[in-house]
Amino acid sequence: MEVIGSLEEIVLMILLRNEKVNSVDIAKEYEDALAKNISIPAIHVVLKRMEKKGWVRSEFGAPTAERGGRRKRIYWATPTAYKLVSELNDVKSKLWSGVTKPSLQYVTI
Q: Where are the domains of the chain?
A: 6-106
Give residue-wise pLDDT tens across range 31-40.
999 999 999 9
Q: Where are the beta strands (DSSP E) in the chain?
A: 21-22, 56-60, 73-77
Whether the per-residue pLDDT at 70 is higher than 90: the answer is: no
Pick the CATH number of 6-106 from 1.10.3720.10, 3.40.1190.20, 1.10.10.10, 1.10.510.10: 1.10.10.10
pLDDT category at 108 given cuts 50, 70, 90 is low
Residue 63's SS3 state is: coil
96 within 8 A of 27, measured Cβ to Cβ:
no
Residue 17's alpha-carbon distances to 11, 41, 76, 82, 98, in angstroms, are 10, 21, 10, 10, 28
Whether the per-residue pLDDT at 62 is higher than 80: the answer is: no
